[in-house]
Amino acid sequence: MKKNRTRTLKALTITTLILMLTVTPAFAAQEGMELKDNVSPEWIWVTANYEEEGDVTWILPGPRELDPDVFGTPDQPLGTEAPPLGVPVMGRMTNEDGTAFTTTAVPTPFSDNYAPIQGSLNFTVKDITLVDGQGSKDEVSFYSEFTGPNGKHYEIIVDMVIPMGDDHPFFGGVATDVIHHGSTGIGSRLVPTAYTYVTFWGVGILRIDGEVVADNRVVHVMVTGNMRDENYEMVLTPDEINYDEVLIHVVLANIAVSPTGPVMSPVPSGFTLPNDMEQPFIHVNYHNVQMTDLNAVKQANTEARLNLAEGTVSSLESELVATNNEKSSIEDQFSEAEDTISSLETDLEDASSEIATLSDGQGFATSTVILVAIVVSILGAALSYFVTKKQ
């Protein structure tokens, strides 16, 4: 990538800037994706440190070219969902004869316009849970810092994953070795379908010049092949992605986290565009990333998931043993109860015979008194037994 290349911002005379995407960009690193000695093996550790301007870029708003395989044609449009996933037909431009879509009608966070900056970052992610759910065991610890085109110092801190997606799955908050964006329905369709080494969605803090300006931003980070060509234009199709190079994106979209769920909210970026409006998103790219031993990362995550599954199985087996023991105890109590009832029935039969004998010899009154006494005795014995068992 040429260090001295700067593209001028185009098409910013629009008085209102509408974002065509929200939760969709990426994350950052330079010296590698490697397992550190002081970190448990299922953690992925990434660091980046760029001292020369150009290896980190600040993406400026601009139109995005539309892939016909993803967005169809005016006669048969595809991907018409509302942002952040798709682009409604009214938000698209067409060629002169109206037979093909060309670009978005409004600026987006995925344009070819950019400014070279400097920055660094480090983070760790732990990918244990594969599907969305509040019980996700995925974890993230992320720190990114860079100097914006305006000379201000920016910091992004994330230490909490978002375990469940609103518009699409978040894979429990962290994902490794996945495909998303483009035609997958996971993430914005404006980004080409891409194999992704690592990605996460989290709740982030944004500091500008040391001051916290937001503490509830949705942050999406993604490590992929290089999606930018030699002219720094974002490629259109999956086949054009260069997997000999690695690109990390860090994005704060125009979405904030609230007690009731995600809400549309411009990022307080502190960066004023040529039209005197504040840029409502932050999208930073890190280039020339070196990754080491990705297979070890995959193996470590697989082993961690296996250990978690084995722990779950062991817990269920213990619960099963306890349930069987309780069942056996109940069966023993039931057997004892049956024996007691049988004994009481025998006593009742004997008492009935005795009453019959007494009735013949001593008269009805005497037999009635004896019968009442025997019944009271039997009921008392039964009551005593069941009270004892209940205790």
**pLDDT tens-digit series, residues 63-90:** 999 999 999 999 999 999 998 899 999 9
Dig out the tokens for 366 from the structure. Answer: 């005497």
pLDDT of residue 370: 61
Amino acid 206: pLDDT: 98
Q: Residue 39 has what pLDDT? A: 37
pLDDT of residue 258: 92
Residue with tokens 């509408």: 18
CA distance 112 to 332: 77
264: Cα within 13 Å, side-chain hemisphere: 8
φ/ψ of residue 388, rounded to 5: -60, -45
Residue 79: the pLDDT is: 96
Environment class of 339 (CB within 10 Å of its CB; exposed 0-12, middle 13-18, buried 19+): exposed
- Give the pLDDT confidence of 210-229 residue by residue, as tens digits: 999 999 999 999 999 999 99
Q: Say if strands 56-59 and 261-264 run parallel, antiparallel, or are unpaired.
A: unpaired
Question: What local confidence, expressed as pLDDT, does residue 40 receive?
Answer: 41
Q: Please state, in angstroms and rounded to a whole number, the distance separating the CA atoms of residues 141 and 249.
A: 16
HSE-up (13 A, CA, CB side) for residue 373? 8
- How far is 116 from 106, CA to CA, in rounded Å? 23
240-246-247 Cα angle (round to 5):
85
pLDDT at 296: 58
Give the chain's length.
391
What is the C-alpha separation between 109 and 80, in angstroms, rounded?
18
CB burial class (10 A; 0-12, 13-18, 19+) of residue 252? Answer: buried
Radius of gyration of the chain (CA): 35
Low-confidence ranges of the chain (pLDDT < 70): 1-54, 290-302, 304-305, 308, 355-356, 358-391
pLDDT at 33: 33
* Predicted local confidence at residue 31, as pLDDT: 32
Among the listed residues 179, 190, 186, the one whose alpha carbon sits nearest the alpha carbon of residue 71: 190
- Specify the pTM: 0.68
What DSSP designation does 185 have?
S
